[in-house]
């Protein structure tokens, strides 16, 4: 399936002083498939080692890690794949199981003759524990689940068609009703299915939500296996507790992550390391509370107050009991108090490299997200249905001299208000910082 990151790989290859590329991200986001497709179109040969499947290959990276020795070892191990400058891509997959590979990347970088890509899950955890990790000698790429735009590609909607939809966003004009309703329907499908390539592929081929759910459960089970394998003994149980509590946290009115929800008496001192482990592993995304509406936003964040969002909304829904998926598809989204839709919008905006914060003064004044777009502070409200009344957004704009805010809902485009731009949820893929 087509992924936007293929353009990043092409840019990397065009760089004459190419450093080894490290692709990291949670399990099952499509790292291996992406690299293979890239190699197929841009190289004559792909030299691939999966260290999870080929445990003997780990021995190639022990001892002498000079470039001459590395090339000799690799050439001896796979004699059927030549290693030729400009024609061969070296691909080291699942390198989290072989930290010595990470150390070797410095030698490849200093030589510079062969293009090298390394990938793996849990790398945010593993890299922090490798004392000889070659900082400055590698480029990194964080791969996330498929975006709604990529989901549309998988459903047969081409780039030209999506560019056409974007004109309605840019020109702030109504989308024809039939198209609007269809895109709403597709967006709800994306909320339920999520962006894991295997799951998207199953849905596109079968339209069977029960098969989708089975695949999502398998992925969650793989996550738990990784947790059991990579989390240190002292935090293993805590990490599991924190991760499992995210759906409950997002189902509450106040979606701030609260340790007491996990267990009575829970606090940051006890669980703080576990939260960092979850975010470093790519399983969840942390968004901090903003203390005030001043720039730079990062300087005014409260690191003690935050929300945690799943890396994939489909997986989040799979953790809820009952027929959550069918409730969403049938338009009964309100049962989750907006948490599901906040999650998918956070997921979408972060995929567009938009830094996010939230604001909460008290129970009467809260903004789902705050960001910086074209150097303007922009509050963003997310509504799960058609009721878009938002007292908080109006108050924030008026009291803080904010140029404009954005409201996302199931409704069509409406930019008649001088300071509030209303867009359908599916148009969140077009929100970008152009500076």
Q: What does the pLDDT profile of the chain (435 residues) look like in tens digits?
A: 899 999 999 999 998 777 999 999 998 999 999 999 999 999 999 999 999 999 999 999 998 889 999 999 999 999 999 999 999 999 999 998 888 899 999 999 999 999 999 998 876 666 656 656 777 899 999 999 999 999 999 999 999 999 999 999 999 999 999 999 999 999 999 999 999 999 999 999 999 999 999 999 999 999 999 888 888 888 999 999 999 999 989 888 778 899 999 988 889 999 988 999 999 888 999 999 999 999 999 999 999 999 999 999 999 999 987 777 887 887 776 556 678 999 999 999 999 999 999 999 877 788 999 999 999 999 999 988 767 677 789 889 988 989 999 999 999 999 999 899 999 999 999 999 876
Give pLDDT tens digits for 361-420. Answer: 877 788 999 999 999 999 999 988 767 677 789 889 988 989 999 999 999 999 999 899
Domains parsed from the chain with CATH numbers = 6-142 (3.40.50.300), 148-430 (no CATH)
Nearest one of 381, 383, 384, 374 to 354, comparing CA atoms? 374
Alpha-helical regions (H) of 4-57: 6-14, 31-42
Contacts of 111 (CB under 8 A, 6+ apart): 67
User: Could you tell me where the beta strands, DSSP code E, fall in 148-299?
Assistant: 284-290
Q: Decide the pairing of beta strands 357-362 and 365-373.
A: antiparallel
Q: 129 and 99 in contact (C-beta within 8 Å)?
A: yes
Q: 230 and 125 in contact (C-beta within 8 Å)?
A: yes
Give pLDDT tens digits for 49-73. Answer: 999 999 999 999 998 889 999 999 9
- Which single residue is written with the structure tokens 């777009």? 373
Number of other residues whose CB lies within 10 A of the CB of residue 171? 10
Structure tokens at 395: 């108050």
Q: Decide the pairing of beta strands 357-362 and 301-310.
A: unpaired
Angle of CA points 280, 17, 83, to nearest 5°: 90
Buried b (16+ CB within 10 A) or exposed e, 149-165: bbbbbbeebeeeeeeeb
Q: State the pLDDT at residue 326.
A: 82
């Amino acid at each position: 399936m087509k992924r936007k990151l293929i353009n990043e790989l092409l840019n990397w290859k065009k760089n004459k002083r190419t450093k080894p590329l490290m692709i990291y991200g949670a399990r099952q986001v499509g790292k291996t498939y992406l690299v293979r497709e890239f190699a197929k179109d841009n190289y004559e040969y792909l030299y691939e080692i999966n260290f999870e499947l080929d445990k003997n290959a780990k021995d190639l990276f022990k001892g002498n890690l000079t470039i001459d020795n590395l090339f000799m070892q690799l050439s001896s191990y796979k004699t059927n794949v030549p290693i030729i400058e400009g024609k061969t891509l070296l691909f080291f997959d699942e390198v989290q199981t072989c930290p010595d590979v990470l150390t070797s990347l410095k030698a490849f970088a200093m030589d510079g003759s062969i293009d090298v890509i390394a990938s793996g899950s849990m790398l945010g955890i593993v890299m922090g524990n490798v004392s000889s990790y070659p900082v400055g000698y590698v480029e990194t790429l964080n791969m996330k689940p498929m975006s709604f735009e990529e989901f549309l590609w998988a459903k047969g909607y081409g780039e030209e068609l999506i560019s056409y939809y974007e004109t309605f966003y840019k020109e702030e004009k109504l989308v024809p009703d039939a198209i609007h309703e269809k895109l709403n329907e597709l967006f709800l499908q994306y909320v339920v299915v999520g962006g894991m390539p295997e799951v998207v592929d199953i849905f596109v081929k079968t339209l069977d939500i029960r098969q989708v759910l089975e695949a999502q459960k398998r992925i969650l089970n793989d996550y738990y296996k990784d947790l059991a394998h990579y989390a240190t003994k002292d935090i293993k149980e805590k990490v599991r507790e924190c991760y499992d509590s995210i759906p409950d946290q997002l189902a509450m009115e106040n979606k701030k992550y609260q340790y007491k929800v996990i267990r009575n008496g829970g606090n940051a001192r006890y669980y703080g390391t576990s939260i960092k482990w979850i975010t470093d592993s790519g399983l969840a995304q942390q968004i901090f509370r903003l203390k005030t509406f001043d720039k730079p936003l990062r300087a005014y964040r409260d690191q003690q107050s935050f929300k945690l969002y799943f890396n994939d909304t489909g997986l989040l829904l799979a953790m809820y009991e009952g027929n959550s998926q069918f409730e969403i598809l049938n338009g009964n989204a309100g049962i989750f108090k907006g948490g599901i839709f906040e999650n998918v919008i956070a997921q979408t905006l972060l995929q567009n490299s938009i830094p996010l914060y939230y604001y909460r003064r008290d129970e009467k004044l809260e903004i789902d997200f705050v960001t910086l777009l074209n150097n303007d502070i922009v509050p963003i409200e997310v509504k799960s249905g058609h009721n878009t009344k938002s007292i908080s957004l109006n108050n924030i704009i008026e009291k803080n001299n904010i140029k404009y805010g954005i409201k996302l809902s199931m409704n069509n485009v409406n930019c008649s208000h001088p300071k509030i731009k209303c867009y359908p949820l599916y148009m969140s893929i077009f929100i970008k910082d152009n500076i």
